[in-house]
Amino acid sequence: HAGARTCHQRRVGGSSHHAHTPCRFGQGAAADSAGERFALCLFHVCVSPDALNTPTPPHSHSLPCPQEYLPTRGAWSTAVQLVKTDGVVALWRGLVPSVVRGGYYGGIRLGLYAPLKQTLQAAVGASERGRETVAVRISAGLSAGVVACLLSHPLELVKIRMQADDGHRQRRGMLGWLRHIYQHEGGLTGLLSGIRPALLRAALLTGSQTVSYDYCKTLVAEHWRLAAPDSAQTHFAASVLAGLCTTTCTMPADVIKTRMCADPGRYPSIGVTLANMLRHEGLHVLLRGWVPAYLRLAPQTTLIFVFAEQLRLRW
C-alpha cells in the first residue's frame, strides 16, 4: 500500500439541471459492486506495485528508526533493487491476500455507498429537494469505507507483513500468516493491529474517491463539455482526475497505517508513529511514496469506475 519504503537493512525493500443529467455513481449498486470486484481483482493481478510502498522494518522494536534505515531511494530504484535481490516475483509479493481482500473489500465499500447515501438523503430531506448534498456524499463514502475496512483488515495486515518480509522471517503463505499472528500476537487483537489508521485511510479513500469522481464527472460533461455525460470518455477522464484527489487525500494515513501494520512494536499508535516520522524524516514524509501510490490508485480508480459505470448502463 501507499507509503514509503521506510526502513531497510539487507535491501530497500452537486446536482445539475442540464438537459441530460448523468446518473450519479452509486445509483446502480449491484452493478457498481460487481464492477469494482472484477476491476480490483484484475488490477491486483496485473499492475499493482504494492511491494514498492511497504516498509521493510529493522528487527529492533524499541528504538527509533536509525538514520541508516531511512529511505534513500525512489520508486524506480526500489523496484530495480527488489528485482536484483529477490527477482521479478518480489513485485507481486502478497498478491493472494491482496486479491482476496480487494474482491470483497471493494464490493462492500462501493456496494454500501448507494444505500447509505439514499438513507442519509431521506434523513436530511435531500431527496425531496432532488439534490445530493456534498455532506451526504462525503458521509456515505466515509461510512462505507469504515465498514469495509473493519471486515477486511486482517487480510490487509497479512499482505503488508508478506511484503515487508526481509528474509530473516520464516516464509509463510496467507493462511500461515493469519495463524501466526493469531497465535503469537494476541489473537483477535493481533489481527486488528493498525486498525485505527486503516479505518482513517479507508474512510478517506472511499469518501474522496466517490465524491471527487461524482464532481469530476459533472465538471467534464457539463462545465467543460468535453464528452457526453454517460460516455466512456467522460468516465475515464473523471476517474483519472479522481485518482489524483484520492492519492493526495489518503497518503498521510496510508504511510502511518503501513508502518504500524508492518512493525507494531516500533509504531504502537498513531501519535507515536507520527511523532517518530516527523522527528526523524520531516513533514514531507507524509507524502513520501506519492508517485508509486498514484501509479497504484490511478489505474485502480479508473478500472473501478469505468467497469462499474458500463455495467450500470447495461443493467
CA distance 284 to 304: 30
pLDDT bin (cut points 50, 70, 90) of residue 73 is: low
* Count of helix runs (H) and strand runs (E) in the chain: 10, 0
> Identity (one letter) of the amino acid at 293?
A
- Closest of 107, 86, 66 to residue 11, by C-alpha: 86
Kindly indicate the confidence band of residue 52, based on its pLDDT and cuts at 50, 70 and 90: low
pLDDT in tens, 116-158: 988 988 888 755 454 567 888 899 999 999 999 999 999 889 8
Percent of the chain at pLDDT exceeding 70: 72
Q: Please check the confidence at residue 173 and state whether its pLDDT lies above 90.
A: no
More confident position, 77 or 304: 304
Tell me which residue of 47, 117, 51 sits closest to 301, measured CA to CA: 47
Which of 117-121, 165-169, 242-246 has the weakest average pLDDT? Answer: 165-169
pLDDT tens digits, 286-303: 998 898 889 888 888 898
This prediction has a pTM of: 0.67
